[in-house]
Structure 1
Amino acid sequence: MTGYASARGPVVPQTLDSEAESSAPSLVVEVRSVNGRFLDLALRLPDELRAAEPALRERVASCLRRGKVELRVALELGGPAGLRLPSSHELQRLLALQDQVRAWLPQAAPLSVADALQWTQRHAAVPAQAHEALLSLTDQALQALQSARAREGHKLTAMLQERLAQLRERIQQAQPLAPLAVEQQRQRYLQRLHEALGAAHAADTPALQERVLAEATAFALRIDVAEELTRLAAHVDEMQQLLRQGGEVGKRLDFLAQELHREANTLGAKSASLELTRLSVDMKVLIEQIREQVQNLE
């Protein structure tokens, strides 16, 4: 299912110093998911947090089972309020480096404020608490994503129940037509055989009559769709039960949708009347709609 969620927080615990808090590094975690039959996870991490990749994959796999998921992490060293304030140690080290360079290159221009800020932002060390903060924010984002996917799942479930109800109506309409079509085809087959035998001046013997009746019956059985209609109804019952039950039912529903499609194809191939053919086409349309949406459920 599709969904989006994000979480933002500081890398280190908040302090009472508002100035220090505004310049503290922070993390932003974004999780996006789109439809997919299996779990396909892509991670977008800054180099400083690559070591957390195995733990992040484990976190996502424990919460999600299906979908194409992208987890993106951004490390804002300056914090959400602006640039990080360099420490005195960083400025002293930068000044010492400048003195060493200018000792060998007296013509080198001194560092500007912008140069000093850019260097300290780029080479700032990631705090040791970054790993724990990243996992905590990831849990928050995944929880929000699951809530969004659950809301979409309720809408999809209602739509699937509606399509299954329409499919059941088509099955019920076809059930009384099946034996009628079989009997009509049987009578038509008998009539044609008698006409062919009469044209050939064949002897009207009891053995021949029995052979003709057996052939007509065998043909009628070949076009009987009662078994396909029974299986279609059983699959619809099972899918409705799974939707009411909830939980991780996406793959089972996907399998049942494939079985529905197979039975509907057989029904259309064996159909011996125009009305049954029309109903089988309607069933295929509904089943295709069900198959498309079932793949979105987890």
Structure 2
Amino acid sequence: MIASMTGFARAAGTTGPVQWAWEVRSVNGRGLDVRVRVPNGAEAAGEVARTALQKTLTRGQCQLSLALTKPEATARVRVNEALLASLAAAIARVPVPEGIAPATLDGLLGVRGVIESEEPENAETESLARDLAEGVVRLVADLVEARRAEGRALQEIINGHLGTMIALTQAAEDCPARTPEAVRAKLAASVATLTAGGSGLDPDRLHQEAVLLAAKADVREELDRLRAHLNAAGELITGGGAIGRRLDFLAQELGREANTLCAKANDIALSRIGLDLKAVVEQFREQVQNVE
């Protein structure tokens, strides 16, 4: 089974008052590129996710993001009773001059350190970190399945192109213009045209040149290489795995042979087969560039 480089996955959950959601999108890429975007304080979770993707995938550009939704932070207040009692005892021991009001509770509470603020727990708790890591496992598994599902559809298309190229190669093999009789008849007609009317051209020399031209126009080697490349592509697809790069290389070689076939074709029917083959090879190459 082959896999596409295109896929999307999402994993979400709730840990205490915090809601979180991982999302990852992957598209075509020459290699593997994982880009991570997480909120401040969640960098460790982002690295866990990056590592998991890098260990699982071989190619593709991945955009990974984490969204955290927390309740509005409300500070909790604590009275430093020991400090307050110490201040009150100290003031009680100090004689208050006439005309000065004694210390009051609200005054003592205003002394720095008597009232302390406790910030709510940071969202990056052990529990949240654990849940985010478990979410990454689900996220990566879902992305792999999405890419495989896309790969199954892609494989059908690629196999269709492969079958068409095999049929066109066979059509070129069976083209009547390639039979020895047809080649001899065409050469004989060309030589007869050139020697008609006593042009003074040497018939033997013309015959030699015609034979050389016929040899240059022979597409046997191109057809043999086309078959070899098509067989190799079929074996790769059957074996599955990360075969995108090798399929892309074979697509380039198929295109090269199809171009040569068109250039050497000495008949309209064979030229049309070559042009049709070039079109299908290009479609094949566009699809295999999506394969991991």
Q: Does the TM-score normalized on the shorter chain lie above 0.5?
A: yes
Paired position in structure 2 for 1:173:
171
Paired position in structure 1 for 2:199:
199
SS in 2 for 1:46: coil
Q: Percent identity?
A: 37
Paired position in structure 1 for 2:216:
222
- Correspondence for 1:41 among 34, 40, 44: 34
CA gap of 1:270–1:126, structure 2 versus 1, over 3 A, is same
Amino acid in the other structure paired with 1:199: S
- Correspondence for 1:137 among 135, 138, 158: 135
Instruction: Provide Cα deviations, 1:18-56, integer angstroms capped at 9, x if missing partner.
Output: xxx4x2x24311111123333232211112122344443
Structure 1 residue 255 corresponds to structure 2 residue 249 = yes
Measure the CA separation in 2 of the matches of 1:195 and 1:61: 74
Paired position in structure 2 for 1:291:
285
SS in 2 for 1:240: helix
SS in 1 for 2:148: helix
Structure 2 residue runs without a partner (length 5+): 80-105, 112-116
Q: Is the 8 A contact 1:26 1:75 kept in 2?
A: yes
Instruction: Provide Cα deviations, 1:240-288, integer angstroms capped at 9, x if missing partner.
Output: 2221221111111111111111111111111111111111111111111
Q: CA RMSD in A?
A: 3.1
Structure 1 residue 276 corresponds to structure 2 residue 277 = no
Amino acid in the other structure paired with 1:2: T
Q: CA deviation at 1:176?
A: 2.3
The structure richer in helix per residue is 1
Q: Is the 8 A contact 2:251 2:285 kept in 1?
A: yes
Which is further off, 176-185 or 280-289? 176-185
Paired position in structure 1 for 2:76:
91
Please identify the structure whose Cα radius of gyration is greater.
Answer: 2
Measure the CA separation in 2 of the matches of 1:257 and 1:190: 40
Paired position in structure 2 for 1:150:
148
Instruction: Provide Cα deviations, 1:207-262, integer angstroms capped at 9, x if missing partner.
Output: x72x4333222111111112111211221122122212211111111111111111
Q: CA deviation at 1:136?
A: 2.4
Which is further off, 212-221 or 164-173? 212-221
Instruction: Provide Cα deviations, 1:44-71, integer angstroms capped at 9, x if missing partner.
Output: 1112122344443221111122222111
Q: Which structure's relative contact order is higher, taking Cα pairs within 8 Å and 6+ residues apart? A: 2
Measure the CA separation in 2 of the matches of 1:93 and 1:126: 23
Structure 1 residue runs without a partner (length 5+): 12-20, 105-115
After superposing on structure 2, the runs of 4+ consecutive aligned residues of structure 1 that deviate more than 6 Å are: none
Instruction: Provide Cα deviations, 1:121-157, integer angstroms capped at 9, x if missing partner.
Output: 8x94521444443332112101011111111111111
Measure the CA separation in 2 of the matches of 1:131 and 1:77: 15
Q: CA deviation at 1:2?
A: 2.1
Measure the CA separation in 2 of the matches of 1:137 and 1:183: 72
SS in 1 for 2:42: helix
Q: CA deviation at 1:93?
A: 6.1
Q: Is the 8 A contact 2:26 2:63 kept in 1?
A: yes
Q: CA deviation at 1:184?
A: 4.8
Measure the CA separation in 1 of the matches of 2:174 and 2:24: 52
Measure the CA separation in 1 of the matches of 2:185 and 2:225: 23
Structure 1 residue 77 corresponds to structure 2 residue 70 = yes
Q: Is the 8 A contact 2:37 2:46 kept in 1?
A: no
Which is further off, 154-163 or 134-143? 134-143
Amino acid in the other structure paired with 1:281: L
